Amino acid sequence: MAQHGLMETKERGEVFNKYFESIFTEAEKIDHIAQQLMKYGRPPEHKEDRINIQKILDHSLNLLRDFGETKRFHVHRFCREALPLIRGDKFQLEQVFINIIINASHAMEKTTNKKLIVETGISSDRHSIEVTVSDTGCGIKEENMERIFSPFFTTKEAEKGKGLGLSIVKTFVEKHQGRIEVKSKLDKGTSFKVILPIDLDNKDNKRELWA
């Protein structure tokens, strides 16, 4: 009888442990949503500095690699060796590219040829830097294209996102007087082009651009 009672106690303990683990997991999700809402409602202070966009991309990809995100696909980079500096907030710009890459990762979950392509260059008028992030994912339906940057709009499963990632991307890009262009083909993939103004007050930039 005593042994039977111990077994029942152990089983109850395991049930309670699973129950509390579930509670903590859901609490973490709620906390994450709350943090996202706070970031969107009250974006962090914009602190400008001279920025090397290649270093921003390197750091963003390294962070995602450390968390195992980039193990899900092949990364191909086609980057201009030397790009002019821009003025901006490095933390906000890192968040821009992290969000775009995570979005691409989710879009490629059900595809076999998982490929992320990152390209950098200078605009034809030589006033802006262009960073294009392309994926071979599921693509975006035409009727959703105008809504992808709207807060809380998402076509993902509930645990994959709350529809704030791309909205934050647009907010931060516009804070840098930039813009973002999107092209997508259903079942083929999507490309996000982030266009950011070059720091034309920098003498080194002027020499490089119009030498």
Which structural domain, as residue segments, surrounds residue 168? Answer: 49-209
- Single residue among 25, 42, 59 that ends a domain in this structure: 42
pLDDT band at 96 (very low <50, low <70, confident <90, very high): very high
pLDDT for 114 beyond 70: yes
Q: What confidence tier does 76 reach under pLDDT thresholds 50, 70, 90?
A: very high
Q: Is the pLDDT of residue 33 over 50?
A: no
Q: Is the pLDDT of residue 42 over 60?
A: no
What H or E segment, with its residue span, contains residue 80?
none
Stronger pLDDT, 146 or 173, i.e. the higher one? 173
- Per-residue pLDDT at 8 exceeds 90: no
Least confident of 68-72, 140-144, 165-169: 68-72
**Measured distance CA(54)–CA(60) in Å, rounded:** 10
Q: Which residue has the higher pLDDT, 60 or 203?
A: 60
- Given a cut of 60, whether residue 2 has pLDDT beyond it is no
Check whether residue 91 and residue 3 sit in a common domain.
Answer: no
CA-nearest of 63, 84, 91, 165 to 130 is: 84
Q: Does pLDDT of 145 surpass 70?
A: yes
Inter-axis angle of helices 165-175 and 2-41, nearest 10: 30
Neighbours of 115 (CB within 10 A): 16
| Cross-strand bridge partners of residue 43 | none
Q: Do residues 134 and 33 share a domain?
A: no
Same domain? For 115 and 175 the reply is yes
Give the model confidence (pLDDT) of 82-93 as tens digits.
899 999 999 999
Judged against a pLDDT cut of 60, whether residue 7 lies above it is answered with no
Q: Any idea of the CA torsion for 91, 179, 192, 72, to the nearest 10 degrees?
A: 10
Separation CA 181–CA 168 (nearest Å): 15
Q: Residue 153: is its pLDDT beyond 80?
A: no
Question: In terms of DSSP H, where are the helices of the chain?
Answer: 2-41, 53-66, 90-107, 165-175, 203-209
Let me know whether 32 and 112 are in one domain. Answer: no
Query: What is the number of structural domains in the chain?
Result: 2
> Are 56 and 76 within one domain?
yes
pLDDT given at position 207: 55
User: 176 and 108, same structural domain?
Assistant: yes
Supply the mean pLDDT for the chain. 80
31 and 75 inside one domain: no
Whether 179 and 111 share a structural domain: yes
Q: Give yes or no: residues 14 and 56 share one domain.
A: no
Same domain? 93 vs 22: no
Confidence of residue 29 (pLDDT cuts 50, 70, 90): very low
Q: What is the CATH number of the domain that holds 181?
A: 3.30.565.10
Q: Is 15 in the same domain as 114?
A: no
Q: Are residues 82 and 182 both part of a single domain?
A: yes
Of 26-30, 53-57, 73-77, 114-118, give the lowest mean pLDDT range: 26-30
pTM over 0.75: no
